[in-house]
Structure formats: structure tokens, C-alpha cells
């Protein structure tokens, strides 16, 4: 606009100079004098408040500024004389107060205020402020264009100005009028903040007076929006932050920061926008924060006004300190390497300690010190450097009985019942009844329901609302679990008769077994007891024991040996379902299997199918049976006896699965399988304990019928197929039957093999072949004596040998290849090496078939044998003389035997290699199982438990146990092999070839 209005460059420059001069505030205490008013000014050479006025420096809307010299000190000062209209008693008081406060400001970058007040001369009264004089000063605009400082120094000087303002804020003073003319720089580029003398204290007197008698003006271009829009009293420290931000913008507009990098200019823009935000709360929280951001820009550090990621911060740090960054990186690498070496050394040390502890544990087992062995094995397990299977093989020798306690001692425990839907049990004890949470691993806190009666039993209603408590003195109490209320029930008709046992009914009531042999029922409304079975006049201690029975009934075992079925409906009479010649001491029921377990005083146990489908299974134990419990699926039954022994048996055979002590010689009164299926809760004496269900090895698996084949699949589950065409799935760790199914055959099953990973069946049904339940069309099986089938290792193909004819099927049943070997084979066997190769070994030679990428090929090798097994990238072949020879792949007659396992007379019928530990298991024609060291050929142990030829041996997947099958169908699981079978002092397993 100026260039358009005034084309003459010299005139326009003179005009701009004049405008700049006139824009200087009257508060400017620099020595720029105004020659136009010097001669006419009456204050020149006058003595005012001890100062001789020398000359006028400048003037403005609020007054004039003079240079003066203090009389006595000779110090040059600046005197500001304010407009006469501003003189009042209020202002005089304010000026004196502010002069005292501002005089206390001692900061090298704030012009010092010496005094302030009202002066009267020639009848005129004018306010005045005496302050420090800044000589040869430049304001911010002049300094930004004329100074010789670089960009870092300029930013630092502006940061010093912010520090000075922050100092004033901490003293309670707001500047309120920050603008270029109030920030001066002396000849040494040292900044000075002036005009604090007309600012306002934050704790100023009454805001009404301040509004009616204002003491200063503001500069619109540099005043915060809230100051322009509101009374002066609303200004705060953030208003000064706005003014400082505008000063930074002034320097930026004059190209004072042109040397900044693009990133620094981006940061500076963000800082200025933050400081001059229209919203006070969005600005820097203090002048010090603004100073920090200015210094961060100078140092190329992240600023608070703009978020920067970790990568950018790291890049800035590296650029600022390249040498330090390189040294830091080298130090981190050195630390990582050192840390890795320390970890490796520490692991070697731990492994050495673990091996030493393992060796000591083995010696402790050999001398019978099982407590020490368990302690040392726990140390080995915590060190974590020894394979768990090795620890497990030795740990099984220790017979750990009590796993942990789940409740503290609370009197003799008699019985308990779980509250439905929770892990809490109501426990009846000699001190009363309390709640115990078995989810707590180390003794739960007790909540007592009743403490004024010794309890014999407790029953919880199906809805978990009521707890019925049977006291030993014959009192029956009902406890409402929600309201914590107890309702005692009178038993006057049966005074003097104790309650022996208690069981809940489906209708909400209870059935009571009394110690005189009678049975009573009480309905859910706690009415009078009804006699269901009269007293038997049994001897003392020969009471009746009751338990929940089939739907709508309760089982009661009587002192005369009868098992009674008592309906919940009291109008229906009880019936006798079983009888034995001894007093019943405990009864248990399993609804899934429909069977009842009855324990007797003479140690007899009967498992009775109330539907009559299965025969009664019976067994005699050494002591009276006091506790009974079925597992959730009914497959196992736990028996607790008078001597504190807990025995777990298969319910359909009563074969012992495990036998443990409850940790006391007191009778085991109560048992229950825990929800995990692996532990058992038991009460004996004062103990409420948790016992592990551990299988005793070796043990025999009872198959549904005579077993013909066996295959261990994942998770140590065995598939067993029987002569009758059934396939059983059995958990080898516990011996429990998981499932049984009938193989769908039309005629008679002549052979079956199972793919261990996918579980697919291949079955020979008469003259037909089934693969995965599908009959293969247009394929007939001959009546040849020798049949053999085997799945490829990846289970994508099935090799089928019928006499001398070899066929290859896809897993879907499609015939891929067919080949005639040319002559009848003698006792052939198939040994798949991988997904494409198989060896056919017989007494008349060996053939190797390959259906790989080059097509289907068959070659004959002049090697004979009885049976064969692929193992360790080779082929183990049994000879008629009892030896087992191992040859590496590819099988060649010229290669010869590399390993030979000999030293027995029975022919090897089955073999399997434990590659984890280098152990070879073989089963012979005489029923003996031998364990060999595969690397040395040494026989380590001979296991004798079968009475007929071994059909199959196979290691568990983790290598800790062995399962064997003989020709009679007997299946046995072996573990706990002698310590010599594993070198416990060795740091690694035996090496395989």
C-alpha cells in the first residue's frame, strides 16, 4: 500500500523511519531523545525525588520518560512521569505498594525499579516511577535486524527473556504489557525487561477499584485476547506467555531465524502457535516451559508443543551427539554379549548342579531314602535343564503319597459334600461344620456354620440353598446358606439315638441312617421324621449308611448286609436290591453307569449293576471299608479303609490302579474324585488331603476281548483291536477305557491296521478291503495265508501285501500301483521308511519298493529275515536264530550288518526304538521283553511278564514307558526301568548312528 501511494523510495524510507520512532512507547527507557520537545519541557534540570532530570528520552499516551541523575550517588536513572489524570489517592497507595514489590525483584534481566509514588511541583501532581536506565539499547525489532548473533544465540536470548518473566511470575507479578519496546538489548546483547513498574500484582487490591481506576494501557498487537476482551483483572501468567510468543513471531517475521533447518522451523512454528493460542489453557503452562522449547529448538531436541515419536527423538539425539551415540551403541552390544555369556555360563552351572542333584536322587532311591529323593528331584525340576521324562522315570520310584493339604486341622473329619456349582465343601468334623474351598492350594480359611455340636454328616440340597447337618447326639439342624440362619429340628421321638449318615433327596429333604440300624426321612419343610426302615437292634457302631441313589431314590446299606432302595416318596416302601453276609459300612452310587459300590466291615467290596445288565464284581480287601467314591464317568472307584489306605481300582474289573496312604493311621471316612480327574480328596482323622491318582507300574490293561493289535497314538492313548472286531481307545497312563466301537464289517475281520496320527482304519473283511470305512470296488483279497498292511509314515498311502502281490492305495482308497513279486513269500513283513519307500522282508528275500517322483520301482536285495522294522534311517531284521541285525539305508546285500543284537534264543517278534534315549525294545517268541542300548548293542534289562509270544512293543511318545502285547491278548505297560538303562550322570542321551 505504501509503495503504491509513495513511489519515491527515499521519501518512503524516511516515512517508515518516522513511524517506527513514533511507535516507541513512552515506557521506553533507552536513550533515544526527542529533540522536538527538549527546549519547551519544564521538567528539564528540575530536582524530582532526589534526582536531577537531564533530558527527555521519550513520550507517549501514558506519560513521559526522562534521563536523570540521582543526587548523592551520581547514578543515572530513568524517571517515568505518568499522566496527571491518573493521579489519585488510590493510585498513590498502589504505586507505593507496587514500588516496594517491584523493588524486591532482583534479576539481571529485569530493569530494577528503585521507587514509585506521587510527586508535586508547581502545583502539579504527577505519579512517577524511578527505574534503572538501559543505555545504548535496542528494542526487539531493532535487535532482530541489526544484531550480529547467530540463530542459536538469538533463541537463547529469547529464552532468557522468558526466564526473566517466569522469575517475576514466581514473585507474584504479571507483566501484562509485553511488546518489542519493553524488551531491550544493551550493547552486549544482554536482554532487559522494562515496564514492570506499571504492571499489576496478582494479589492486587479490590478488582472493582482496578476496573474503575485503570492504571495502564495495553498494546493490542501484543496483548492476549482475554485482556482485550475482559477487564485487566482477568490477566494471568498465560497472558504473558502470549506476549512472549508474539515477540518470537516478531523475530521470525524479520528473518531472525532464517538459518534454522526445515525440522527446526517446523518445531518453531508449533511453539509459536502453542504460545499464541486463542485459548489460554492451550498455551504453554508457564514462561519457563516456553523457554525450554526455545532451547530445544536451538539444540535440535523434541519440543513439548509437538509430539514426536521415539524414532525421531533417537534420530535427533544421534545427530546432536554422534560420538556419544556410537559409544552408547558399542556399550549396548558389549552388554548384550556379556549378558549372553553370563547366561550361558549360568545355564552350564545350573545344568551341572542339576546333574549332581539327579545323581544324588538316584542314590537316595537306591538306599530307600524317598524323602531326600523327592527333595532333590524338586530341585532338579526347578533348575529346568534336565528333560522332564528323565525326572519322571526316577520320580516314579519314590511313591509320593500326599500331594498337598487343602484345609487345616479342624477336628476329626467325618464327611463332606460339595456345594453345587462351586469348589467349596461343607465339612462335618468333631468341632462342627465348616466350609472349605479346595481351590485354595495351601489351606483355605474356614467359615464355620455350626460349632456347638460334633457332626457326623452334612447334606446340601440340589439348589445349594440348604445345608442339613447331622449331629452325633442325634440333633438334626438345617442351615440356610444365603441368610446364614440355623433352624434346629426337634428329634424327641428318637431321643438317645445318634445319626450315623445323611443323604439329600431330590425333593429337598434328607434320608437319615441311624446308629440303631433304622432309616428315617425328613421332608424339605423340616417336618417330623418318618420311619422308613425300623430299627434292627444292631450292636453299637453297626448303624445304617445312606447315599444318593437312582433318580428319586436313596440307597441304604444295613447292618444285616442288605442294600435297600428307598424312594423319596415316603408312601412307597423300600426294596432290597442286594445282600451280603456282613455289615455294610459305606455305600456309593454312580448315575452314569447305574452301578452301586457297597463296602463291608470285613473288607469285602461289591460293585452292583442295579439294572442287572452286568454281573456283580467283587473283591476282598484287608481292612474294613469306610470310604467309597466313583469317578465322574464311573470308570474308577476309590476305596478308603480303616488303616488309612486309599486304593483306586477300575470299577468294572476292580484291578488296582493305585494305592496310597492318606498320611495317617486313622480310618478314611470320606472320598471324592476332584474335578481335574487326576486327584482325589480324602478325609482321614484330622486331615483333609488331596491325593494324586498315580498308576502303579507295570500294570495290565484288560481289553474287551482277546487283543489282536495295538498302536500308540497321540497323548499316550492306545488303539487296541480285538478278535471280535472291536476297537478300544485306552489311556495308557491310567488304564482307563476312553471309548470302544465296533468295526463295521460284513463277514469276518481277517486283519486291521490303524494310522496313528489320523486314526484311519484299513480292514480286511473276508475277501474285501475297507479303507477309512469305504469298501474298495473291484478289488478282491485272496485266501493266501500271509497278509500284511502298513501305512506310509505320512499316512498318505497304504501298502497292502496279499501273498506275493503288492498294492499301493491312496488314503482315499484309490489304487495307485500294483506289482507281482513273482513267488510266494514266507512270513513277510512291511517296514515303511518314509512316505514313498517300503521294505518287504521275508524268508526268501527282501524287496524295496519306491513310488517317488521317478515312478514306481521295485528292486530285490539278497537279504533274508523273519520280520523287519524301519528305525534310525535303517532297517532292523530279525533272524530265525534270535539275532536282530540293523543295516542302514539304502539296503544293499554288500553293505552288511552294522549292528547286531544277540544273546538270547527266542526269535524277535516285535521291536521299537526310543530315539530320545537311544533304547531299543524287543519282544520275543518266549514272551520276554528286552531293553538294549542301541549305540553299544548291550542288553540292559529283560522284562518277564508275558506267558506267550510278544506281538507288539511300542514306546510312549515321551519315551518314559513301554507298552507290550502278547499272543493271548494280554497288554502290559512298563516303566520305572532300572537306572542302568539311562546314564543319569551323562549330559546327553546316547548318540544314534
Tell me the pLDDT tens digit for each residue of 414-435: 888 888 888 888 888 888 888 8
Does 831 have pLDDT greater than 80? yes
Higher pLDDT pick, 579 / 389: 579
| Distance of alpha carbon 265 from alpha carbon 271, whole angstroms | 10
> What's the pLDDT band for 990 if we cut at 50, 70, 90?
very low
What pLDDT score was predicted for residue 985? 33
**Looking at 168-234, which runs of residues are DSSP E strands?**
173-174, 183-185, 191-193, 200-201
Q: Is 208 exposed, middle or buried (0-12, 13-18, 19+ CB in 10 A)?
A: exposed
- 644-673: burial string, b at 16+ Cβ within 10 Å, e else: bbbbbbbbbebebbbebbbbbebbbbbbbb
DSSP state letter for 110: B
| Distance of alpha carbon 205 from alpha carbon 882, whole angstroms | 116
Tell me the pLDDT tens digit for each residue of 16-34: 555 554 444 444 444 444 4
> What's the pLDDT band for 369 if we cut at 50, 70, 90?
low
Tell me the pLDDT tens digit for each residue of 223-266: 888 877 765 556 788 889 999 999 998 888 877 787 888 888 88
Half-sphere exposure of 805 (CA within 13 A, CB side): 11
| Distance of alpha carbon 784 from alpha carbon 167, whole angstroms | 109
> What's the pLDDT band for 287 if we cut at 50, 70, 90?
very high
| Distance of alpha carbon 336 from alpha carbon 346, whole angstroms | 15
Q: Which of 4-8, 192-196, 748-752 has the lowest mean pLDDT?
A: 4-8
Cell numbers for 259: 538459518
What pLDDT score was predicted for residue 163? 94
Backbone angles phi, psi at 270, to 5 degrees: -65, -40
User: Could you please report the per-residue DSSP string of 405-437?
Assistant: EEE---S-EEEEEEPTTSSEEEEEETTEEEEEE
Backbone angles phi, psi at 981, to 5 degrees: -75, -15
How distant is the alpha carbon of residue 803 from its chain centre?
A: 58
Tell me the pLDDT tens digit for each residue of 904-930: 778 888 999 888 778 899 998 888 999
Higher pLDDT pick, 760 / 697: 760
What pLDDT score was predicted for residue 563? 94
Residue with cell 488510590: 90
DSSP state letter for 796: S
- 262-275 vs 287-298: helix crossing angle, rounded to 10: 170
Residue with cell 473283511: 765
Cis, peptide link before residue 548, omega less than 30° from 0: no
What pLDDT score was predicted for residue 799? 92
Q: Is 926 exposed, middle or buried (0-12, 13-18, 19+ CB in 10 A)?
A: middle
Backbone angles phi, psi at 381, to 5 degrees: -65, -40
| Distance of alpha carbon 948 from alpha carbon 47, whole angstroms | 136
Does 68 have pLDDT greater than 90? yes
What pLDDT score was predicted for residue 29? 47
**Average pLDDT value for the chain:** 79
Q: Which of 203-212, 343-352, 812-821 has the lowest mean pLDDT?
A: 203-212
Tell me the pLDDT tens digit for each residue of 652-661: 888 777 777 7
| Distance of alpha carbon 639 from alpha carbon 659, whole angstroms | 9
| Distance of alpha carbon 703 from alpha carbon 288, whole angstroms | 86
What pLDDT score was predicted for residue 850? 92
3-state secondary structure of 302: coil
- 66-81: burial string, b at 16+ Cβ within 10 Å, e else: bbbebeeeeeebbbbb
963 with 953: CB under 8 angstroms?
yes
3-state secondary structure of 274: helix
Does 619 have pLDDT greater than 70? yes
Half-sphere exposure of 8 (CA within 13 A, CB side): 4
Q: Please tell me the pTM assigned to this model.
A: 0.39
> What's the pLDDT band for 810 if we cut at 50, 70, 90?
very high
Sign of CA dihedral 242, 243, 244, 249: positive
919 with 940: CB under 8 angstroms?
yes
624 with 582: CB under 8 angstroms?
no
What pLDDT score was predicted for residue 603? 93
Residue with cell 498455551: 283
Higher pLDDT pick, 975 / 792: 792
Does 197 have pLDDT greater than 70? no
Higher pLDDT pick, 446 / 647: 647
What pLDDT score was predicted for residue 59? 77
Which domains are seen in the chain, by residue range?
9-318 (1.10.510.10), 322-395 (no CATH), 404-529+541-694 (2.130.10.10)
What pLDDT score was predicted for residue 92? 64
Does 611 have pLDDT greater than 60? yes
Does 400 have pLDDT greater than 70? no
How distant is the alpha carbon of residue 759 from its chain centre?
A: 33
| Distance of alpha carbon 285 from alpha carbon 287, whole angstroms | 7
Q: How far is CA 533 from CA 501, 549, 601, 608, 805, in A?
A: 14, 16, 21, 22, 74
Strands 562-567 and 63-70: unpaired
Residues 6+ away with beta carbon under 8 Å from 644: 661, 662, 663, 664, 665, 666, 667, 668, 684, 685
3-state secondary structure of 240: helix
Does 296 have pLDDT greater than 80? yes
What pLDDT score was predicted for residue 30? 47
Q: How far is CA 107 from CA 111, 166, 168, 184, 765, in A?
A: 8, 11, 9, 15, 107
Does 75 have pLDDT greater than 70? yes
> What's the pLDDT band for 807 if we cut at 50, 70, 90?
very high
Average pLDDT over residues 878-884: 85
| Distance of alpha carbon 879 from alpha carbon 566, whole angstroms | 67
Count of residues in the chain:
993
| Distance of alpha carbon 435 from alpha carbon 62, whole angstroms | 87
> What's the pLDDT band for 546 if we cut at 50, 70, 90?
very high
Average pLDDT over residues 920-941: 88
Does 169 have pLDDT greater than 70? yes
Measured distance between the N- and C-terminal CA atoms of the chain, rounded to whole angstroms? 98
Amino acid at each position: 500500500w505504501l509503495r503504491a501511494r509513495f513511489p519515491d523510495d527515499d521519501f518512503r524510507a524516511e516515512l517508515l523511519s518516522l513511524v517506527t520512532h513514533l511507535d516507541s512507547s513512552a515506557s521506553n527507557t533507552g536513550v533515544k531523545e526527542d529533540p522536538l520537545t527538549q527546549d519547551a519541557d519544564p521538567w528539564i534540570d528540575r530536582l524530582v525525588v532526589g534526582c536531577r532530570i537531564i533530558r527527555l528520552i521519550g513520550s507517549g499516551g501514558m506519560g513521559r520518560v526522562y534521563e536523570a541523575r540521582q543526587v548523592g550517588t551520581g547514578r543515572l536513572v530513568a524517571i517515568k512521569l505518568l499522566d496527571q489524570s491518573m493521579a489519585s489517592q488510590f493510585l498513590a497507595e498502589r504505586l507505593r505498594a507496587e514500588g516496594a514489590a517491584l523493588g524486591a525483584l532482583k534479576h539481571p534481566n529485569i530493569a530494577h525499579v528503585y521507587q514509585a509514588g506521587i510527586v508535586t511541583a508547581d502545583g502539579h501532581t504527577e505519579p512517577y516511577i524511578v527505574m534503572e536506565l538501559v543505555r545504548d539499547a535496542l528494542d526487539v525489532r531493532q535487535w532482530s535486524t541489526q544484531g550480529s548473533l547467530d540463530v542459536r544465540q538469538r533463541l537463547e536470548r529469547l529464552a532468557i527473556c522468558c526466564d526473566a518473566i517466569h522469575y517475576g511470575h514466581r514473585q507474584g507479578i504479571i507483566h501484562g504489557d509485553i511488546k518489542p519496546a519493553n524488551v531491550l538489548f544493551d550493547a552486549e546483547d544482554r536482554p532487559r525487561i522494562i515496564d514492570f513498574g506499571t504492571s499489576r500484582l496478582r494479589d492486587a487490591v479490590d478488582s472493582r477499584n482496578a476496573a474503575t481506576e485503570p492504571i495502564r494501557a495495553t498494546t493490542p498487537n501484543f496483548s492476549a485476547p482475554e485482556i482485550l476482551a475482559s477487564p485487566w483483572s482477568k490477566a494471568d501468567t498465560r497472558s504473558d506467555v502470549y506476549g512472549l510468543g508474539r515477540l518470537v513471531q516478531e523475530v521470525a517475521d524479520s528473518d531472525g531465524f532464517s538459518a534454522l533447518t526445515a525440522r527446526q522451523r517446523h518445531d518453531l512454528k508449533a511453539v509459536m502457535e502453542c504460545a499464541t493460542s486463542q485459548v489460554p489453557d492451550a498455551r504453554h503452562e508457564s514462561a519457563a516451559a516456553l523457554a525450554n522449547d526455545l532451547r530445544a529448538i536451538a539444540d535440535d531436541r523434541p519440543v513439548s508443543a509437538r509430539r514426536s515419536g521415539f524414532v525421531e527423538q533417537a534420530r535427533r539425539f544421534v545427530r546432536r551427539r554422534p560420538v556419544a551415540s556410537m559409544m552408547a551403541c558399542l556399550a549396548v552390544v558389549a552388554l548384550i554379549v556379556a549378558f549372553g555369556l553370563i547366561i550361558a555360563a549360568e545355564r552350564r552351572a545350573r545344568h551341572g548342579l542339576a546333574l549332581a542333584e539327579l545323581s544324588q536322587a538316584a542314590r537316595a532311591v537306591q538306599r530307600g531314602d524317598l524323602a531326600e529323593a523327592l527333595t532333590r528331584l524338586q530341585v532338579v525340576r526347578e533348575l529346568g535343564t534336565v528333560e522332564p521324562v528323565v525326572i519322571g522315570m526316577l520320580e516314579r520310584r519314590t511313591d509320593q503319597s500326599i500331594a498337598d493339604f487343602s484345609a487345616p486341622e479342624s477336628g476329626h473329619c467325618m464327611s463332606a459334600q460339595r456345594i453345587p456349582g462351586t469348589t467349596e465343601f461343607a465339612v462335618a468334623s468333631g468341632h462342627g461344620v465348616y466350609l472349605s474351598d479346595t481351590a485354595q492350594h495351601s489351606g483355605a480359611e474356614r467359615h464355620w456354620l455350626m460349632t456347638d455340636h460334633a457332626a457326623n454328616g452334612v447334606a446340601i440340597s440340589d439348589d445349594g440353598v440348604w445345608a442339613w447337618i447331622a449331629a452325633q447326639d442325634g440333633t438334626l439342624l438345617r442351615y440356610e446358606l444365603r441368610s446364614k440362619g440355623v433352624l434346629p429340628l426337634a428329634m424327641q421321638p428318637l431321643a438317645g439315638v445318634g445319626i450315623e449318615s445323611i443323604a439329600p433327596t431330590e425333593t429337598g429333604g434328607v434320608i437319615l441312617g441311624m446308629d440303631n440300624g433304622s432309616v428315617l426321612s425328613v421332608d424339605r419343610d423340616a417336618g417330623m421324621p418318618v420311619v422308613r426302615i425300623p430299627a434292627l437292634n444292631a450292636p453299637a457302631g453297626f448303624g445304617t449308611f445312606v447315599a444318593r441313589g437312582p433318580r428319586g431314590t436313596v440307597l441304604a446299606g444295613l447292618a444285616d448286609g442288605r442294600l435297600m432302595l428307598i424312594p423319596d416318596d415316603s408312601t412307597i416302601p423300600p426294596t432290597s436290591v442286594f445282600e451280603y453276609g456282613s455289615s455294610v459300612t459305606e455305600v456309593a452310587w454312580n448315575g452314569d453307569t447305574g452301578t452301586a459300590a457297597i463296602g463291608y466291615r470285613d473288607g469285602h467290596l461289591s460293585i452292583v449293576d442295579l439294572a442287572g445288565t452286568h454281573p456283580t464284581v467283587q473283591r476282598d480287601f484287608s481292612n474294613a471299608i469306610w470310604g467309597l467314591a466313583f469317578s465322574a464317568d464311573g470308570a474308577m472307584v476309590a476305596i478308603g479303609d480303616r488303616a488309612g489306605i486309599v486304593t483306586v481300582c477300575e470299577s468294572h474289573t476292580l484291578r488296582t490302579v493305585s494305592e496310597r496312604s492318606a498320611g495317617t493311621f486313622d480310618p478314611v471316612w470320606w472320598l471324592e474324585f476332584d474335578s481335574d480327574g487326576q486327584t482325589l480328596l480324602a478325609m482321614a482323622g484330622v486331615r483333609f488331603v488331596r491325593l494324586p491318582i498315580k498308576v502303579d507300574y507295570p500294570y495290565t490293561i484288560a481289553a474287551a476281548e482277546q487283543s489282536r493289535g495295538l498302536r500308540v497314538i497321540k497323548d499316550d492313548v492306545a488303539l487296541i483291536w480285538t478278535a471280535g472286531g472291536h476297537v478300544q481307545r485306552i489311556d495308557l497312563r491310567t488304564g482307563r477305557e476312553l471309548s470302544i466301537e465296533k468295526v463295521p464289517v460284513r463277514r469276518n475281520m481277517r486283519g486291521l491296521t490303524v494310522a496313528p496320527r489320523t486314526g484311519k482304519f484299513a480292514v480286511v473283511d473276508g475277501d474285501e478291503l475297507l479303507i477309512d470305512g469305504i469298501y474298495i470296488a473291484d478289488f478282491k483279497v485272496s485266501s493266501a495265508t500271509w497278509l500284511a498292511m502298513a501305512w506310509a509314515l505320512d499316512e498318505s498311502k497304504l501298502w497292502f501285501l496279499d501273498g506275493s502281490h503288492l498294492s499301493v492305495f491312496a488314503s482315499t482308497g484309490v489304487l495307485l500301483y500294483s506289482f507281482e513279486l513273482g513267488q510266494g513269500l514266507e512270513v513277510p513283513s512291511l517296514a515303511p521308511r518314509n512316505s514313498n519307500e517300503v521294505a518287504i522282508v521275508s524268508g526268501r528275500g527282501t524287496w524295496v519298493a519306491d513310488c517317488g517322483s521317478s515312478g514306481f520301482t521295485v528292486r530285490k536285495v539278497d537279504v533274508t529275515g523273519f520280520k523287519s522294522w524301519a528305525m534310525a534311517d535303517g532297517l532292523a531284521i530279525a533272524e530265525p536264530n534270535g539275532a536282530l541285525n540293523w543295516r542302514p539305508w539304502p539296503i544293499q546285500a554288500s553293505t552288511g550288518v552294522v549292528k547286531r543284537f544277540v544273546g538270547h534264543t527266542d526269535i524277535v517278534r516285535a521291536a521299537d526304538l526310543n530315539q530320545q534315549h537311544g533304547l531299543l525294545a524287543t519282544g520275543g517268541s518266549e514272551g520276554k521283553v528286552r531293553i538294549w542300548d542301541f549305540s553299544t548293542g548291550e542288553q540292559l534289562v529283560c522284562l518277564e511278564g508275558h506267558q506267550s509270544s510278544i506281538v507288539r512293543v511300542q514306546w510312549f511318545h515321551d519315551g518314559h514307558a513301554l507298552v507290550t502285547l502278547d499272543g493271548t491278548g494280554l497288554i502290559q505297560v512298563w516303566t520305572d526301568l532300572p537306572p542302568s538303562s539311562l546314564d543319569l550322570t551323562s549330559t546327553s542321551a546316547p548318540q544314534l548312528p
